[in-house]
Chain A
C-alpha cells in the first residue's frame, strides 16, 4: 500500500527525470528533490507562518501574564491559553501539521532514491517490478550512477593526491548545511514556552546534523546528494522569504 501509493510513483518520476536529463542520476536526484520541495512549498510556508504566529503570541504581554498567573494551575493555564489562541486567531497546530504531512514524503523520497540505485541483483529484480509498464526499463539499465567524482550507489569519499585517506566531503557538506538549516529554523524567543523551544532547537541543531552526517557517511551517496539538495533548498527558501539573517543565526 505504502509502496504503491508513495514510493513507486516517486520512483517512476525519478526515472522519468533521469531519462529526460540524459541519463545523469545526480542531476535527476537534484531536480527531483527540488520538484518535491516546490510542490511542498505551500506547506512549508504555512509551517513558517504558523511558527511565526506562535512566536509573536509568546511575546504578547497577555500570554506572559497568564503564564505567570496560572503557573501552579496547569488546567486553568491550558484553558486560558486556548482562549487567547481563539482571541488572536492563532492555530497552535498550524506549524505542526505541515511537518507531519512532510514526514511520509521525506521517507518516500528516500526510499525511491535508494530503490532506483539498484546495484545488486535482488535490488534490480525488485526495481523491475516497480516500474510502470509504459517505461522501457530494459533501455535504461544499467542506470548510470556516476556523478562528478561520486558513485551514487556507494558512500562518497574524495581522494586527494598526497592524502592517504579519502575525505568524506559530501557528509561534511550535508552536516554543515543541516546545521545552518536547523539554526535558521530554531526559535528566537526567550519567553517561558520559548525557552523550552529554544533548548529543543539547540539540541536538534546538534543531533540532526550529526545524524545526517552519519547517514551520508555510511549510505549510498545518492542519499547524501538528496540531503544536501534538500538542505540547500530549505536555506534558499528562507532566504527568499527574507528570513535568512546571518548575524542573528551566528549569535544564537
Chain B
C-alpha cells in the first residue's frame, strides 16, 4: 500500500516538475516600445498597448483578435502615412492595426516561427524577418510579394538605403538583397550571429556579433572595413552620433568607437550586461543594463546620473521629445516615463496594466 502511494507521489511529482520547468511555445521576451504621435505603443506579451506619453493613460489594447496564445514583443512599426501599424507575434502572425484605436485591418499567418524583430516598412512594402529563416515582403494590404529564404533564423530588423535591403541573420551572415524581388546582391559571412538591426551611416553598416565584435561593412559590396573587439556578445548594433559609435555588450562594457577606424575612444564598465541599443539625445547617452540600472553618460563617457529599477532592463530606452521611456522586464513597473535629467514623471505598474487589460477583456 505504502509503495503504491510512493509511486503515485513520484508520478505526480514528475508531472509537476516537467510542467513547471518546461518552456512551452509561449516563449517570452522583453517588451518592444515605439513612440509616434505622442503615443507609446508597447508590445508586451498578451497585448499591444497604446498609452498617452503625456500622462500614461491607456488608450487601447489589442489582444490578438481571434488568435489564441497571442504574444508580441517586437516594437510596433508604422507605414509612412501612419495609417497602418504592424506588429508580429511569437505565433508567427503579422498584424496590421489602426494606430488610432487598435482595430485589426488584416493579418498574415504564413510564417512557421516567431517574429522576434520588428518589420521594416518603406513607402509601399513591409519587410518582415521571421525566426523560420525567411524574410517576407508584403504590400500594405498584407499580400505577399516575395519571400527571401536565408535558412537561419532572422532576429534583426533589416535596414535599407533605397537601393539594397540589408538583412542580418543568426547564421553569421549579413545579406544585401534587392528590395524589388528578394534576390541576393552580396552576402558576407561574419564570425558570429547577428541579432539586431544594423546601423547604416554614409554607406557603412555597423553590426554587433555574438563573436564579441563590432564590425563595419561596406554597404556597396559587403567588404569588411574593420572589426573592433568587445568583452562579450554584442547583441545590438551601435548607436551613431558625430562620427562616433556607442555600444554596450553582454560583458558589461560600454564603449565609444571611432566610426571610421573602429578604434576605441573610451570605455566604462558599470551597471551590468547591455542588450539594448543606447539612445543618443543632445550629447547624452542612455544605456539600459540587465541588472536594472539605467545609465546616463555624456558622449565623452562621463557619468551624468543613473537610476535603479527592479527587474531587468533589456529593451532599448526610447526618447520622445523631452521624455525618456523605459520598459523593464519582470518588474513591478510596466512602463516608466522620466525627464532626461533622471526625474520620474509617471509610472505605470504591471499590476495596474494587467487589471486594465482584464477589464478590457471582460468588456469584450
Q: Render B1-13 as a binary contact track against A, CB cut-off 8 A, 1 for contact.
A: 1011011101101
* Bound complex: CA A204 to CA B152 (Å): 42
Residues from chain A with Cβ under 8 Å of B21 in the complex:
107, 110-111, 114
Q: Are B27 and A142 closer than 8 Å at their CB atoms? A: no
Q: Are A197 and B23 closer than 8 Å at their CB atoms? A: no
Q: Are A138 and B4 closer than 8 Å at their CB atoms? A: no
Q: Are A138 and B3 closer than 8 Å at their CB atoms? A: no
Residue of A nearest to B211 (CB): A138
Chain B, 133-190, CB within 8 A of any chain A CB: 152-153, 155, 170-171
Q: Are A121 and B195 closer than 8 Å at their CB atoms? A: yes
Interface size on A, residues (CB 8 A): 38
**Distance to closest chain A CB from B45 (angstroms):** 12
Residue of B nearest to A204 (CB): B11
**Distance to closest chain A CB from B43 (angstroms):** 13
* Bound complex: CA A103 to CA B12 (Å): 12
**Distance to closest chain A CB from B203 (angstroms):** 28
Judged by DSSP, the binding face of A is helix
A236 on interface, CB distance cutoff 8 Å: no
Q: Are A142 and B28 closer than 8 Å at their CB atoms? A: no
Q: Are B15 and A141 closer than 8 Å at their CB atoms? A: no
Chain B, 329-359, CB within 8 A of any chain A CB: 329
* Bound complex: CA A151 to CA B28 (Å): 18
**Distance to closest chain A CB from B205 (angstroms):** 20
Q: Are B116 and A151 closer than 8 Å at their CB atoms? A: no
Q: Are A155 and B18 closer than 8 Å at their CB atoms? A: no
* Bound complex: CA A120 to CA B211 (Å): 19
* Bound complex: CA A106 to CA B8 (Å): 17
* Bound complex: CA A37 to CA B116 (Å): 37
Q: Render A91-119 as a binary contact track against B, CB cut-off 8 A, 1 for contact.
A: 01000100110010011001100100001
**Distance to closest chain B CB from A71 (angstroms):** 13
A16 on interface, CB distance cutoff 8 Å: no
Q: Are A96 and B23 closer than 8 Å at their CB atoms? A: no
A154 on interface, CB distance cutoff 8 Å: yes
Q: Render A133-163 as a binary contact track against B, CB cut-off 8 A, 1 for contact.
A: 0000111011000000001011100000000
- Which interface residue of A103, A123, A138, A197 has the most chain B CB atoms within 10 A? A138
Q: Are B116 and A120 closer than 8 Å at their CB atoms? A: yes
* Bound complex: CA A123 to CA B21 (Å): 13
Residue of A nearest to B20 (CB): A107
**Distance to closest chain A CB from B263 (angstroms):** 23
A17 on interface, CB distance cutoff 8 Å: no
Judged by DSSP, the binding face of B is loop
Q: Are A122 and B27 closer than 8 Å at their CB atoms? A: yes
A215 on interface, CB distance cutoff 8 Å: yes
A200 on interface, CB distance cutoff 8 Å: yes
CB contact under 8 A between A128 and B250, given known A138-B210, A142-B193, A218-B24:
yes
**Distance to closest chain B CB from A19 (angstroms):** 16
**Distance to closest chain A CB from B161 (angstroms):** 27
CB contact under 8 A between A103 and B13, given known A142-B170, A142-B171, A200-B7:
yes
- Which interface residue of B21, B29, B314 has the most chain A CB atoms within 10 A? B21
Q: Are A151 and B112 closer than 8 Å at their CB atoms? A: yes
Of A96, A111, A128, A223, the residue contacting B233 (CB under 8 A) is A128
Residues from chain B with Cβ under 8 Å of A122 in the complex:
27-30, 314, 329
Residues from chain B with Cβ under 8 Å of A196 in the complex:
1, 4
Q: Are A141 and B193 closer than 8 Å at their CB atoms? A: yes
Residues from chain B with Cβ under 8 Å of A111 in the complex:
21
Of A96, A107, A137, the residue contacting B18 (CB under 8 A) is A107
Shortest 7 CB-CB contacts between residues of A and residues of B: A120-B27, A142-B170, A138-B192, A138-B211, A138-B210, A141-B193, A200-B4
Beyond contacts A121-B29, A138-B212, A200-B7: 8 other A-B pairs, Cβ-Cβ < 8 A, are A119-B27, A119-B131, A120-B116, A121-B30, A121-B155, A138-B211, A151-B112, A197-B4
* A–B pairs, 21, beta carbons within 8 Å: A96-B3, A107-B21, A110-B21, A110-B22, A111-B21, A121-B155, A121-B195, A121-B314, A122-B30, A125-B275, A137-B210, A138-B193, A138-B211, A138-B212, A139-B192, A142-B153, A151-B112, A197-B4, A200-B8, A208-B11, A219-B24
Q: Residues on A close to B: CB < 8 A? A: 92, 96, 99-100, 103, 106-107, 110-111, 114, 119-123, 125, 128, 137-139, 141-142, 151, 153-155, 196-197, 200, 204, 207-208, 211, 215, 218-220, 223
